Amino acid sequence: MSGYIGTPLYGGAIVCDLPAKFADVSKLRQVPDNQEVWIDKNGYTSIIFDITERVGGPGSGLEIDGQALTTHLEDMVGSDIDTVKIWNTAETEFTRLESKPPAYTLIATQTRKISQAQGQPSTPDFTAIIMTLLRLEEYQTDILITTNVPHIRGEYDEDDVDLELGKQGKLIGDAVEYSARIWETFKIKDHGLFGEH
């Protein structure tokens, strides 16, 4: 397993550990100011941090926050929501955030539409999505941390992956580990990032 590096995000306003083998996409192409995008130099997995306006009503709880998680997932996949299957959702703890804001993680898969797949060898069979929603109500902010794991035929062992049976395979297993490391090391150093409140 690769090592991790303490990585400044958003100009150092947030820090967390990311795998050493991941590269900052903004050095290659334009990335929106509210996002940080990191990609595996040796593969297809990407980790995206996205600071968005909080969705849903005030307060917290499984219903409000669960609905927000669904809304963000729908925003991300757009009209392809019918190609997405959610496997599980769990409450998540960010160990280094003193205020212990509510956070939730879902694991989903998005399967390509058959019409999109023809004649493109690098089109994934499916993409696993590990999406964590961190809710900062006092700043009217949601932070989404999404790990996208495309599974391209020939690049993974199909026998190792059967989410119905709880078999994640190496790529998803690694992505879960990356996510867990982020939850353990994520720290907000400058709350000014979220604007004036």
pLDDT (tens digit per residue) in 78-118: 888 899 999 999 999 999 998 899 999 999 999 977 655 55
Tell me whether residue 72 is in a domain.
yes
- Determine the pLDDT at residue 79: 86
Tell me whether residue 196 is in a domain.
no
Tell me whether residue 163 is in a domain.
yes
Tell me whether residue 18 is in a domain.
yes
What gap in Å lies between CA 85 and CA 110, rounded to an integer? 6
Would you say residue 186 has pLDDT above 50?
A: yes
Tell me whether residue 156 is in a domain.
yes
Give the position of tokens 């996409």. Answer: 25
3-class DSSP state for residue 36?
strand
Among 17-26, 89-98, 105-114, 145-154, name the one with the lowest average pLDDT. Answer: 105-114
* Residue 196 DSSP class: -
Over residues 144-157, the mean pLDDT reads: 94
- Determine the pLDDT at residue 1: 45
Q: Determine the structural domain holding residue 172 and report its residue range.
A: 4-190
What pTM does this model have? 0.93
User: What value, to the nearest 5°, has the Cα angle with vertex 117 and ends 37 and 147?
Assistant: 25
What gap in Å lies between CA 95 and CA 185, rounded to an integer? 7
What gap in Å lies between CA 107 and CA 28, rounded to an integer? 28
Count other C-beta atoms under 10 Å from residue 120's C-beta.
9
CB of 48 closer than 8 Å to CB of 32: no
C-alpha dihedral sign at 20, 104, 149, 120: negative
Among 39-43, 75-79, 192-196, name the one with the lowest average pLDDT. Answer: 192-196
Over residues 158-179, the mean pLDDT reads: 94
CATH number of the domain bearing residue 103: 3.40.1000.10
Would you say residue 55 has pLDDT above 80?
A: yes
Tell me whether residue 195 is in a domain.
no
Domain count, the chain: 1
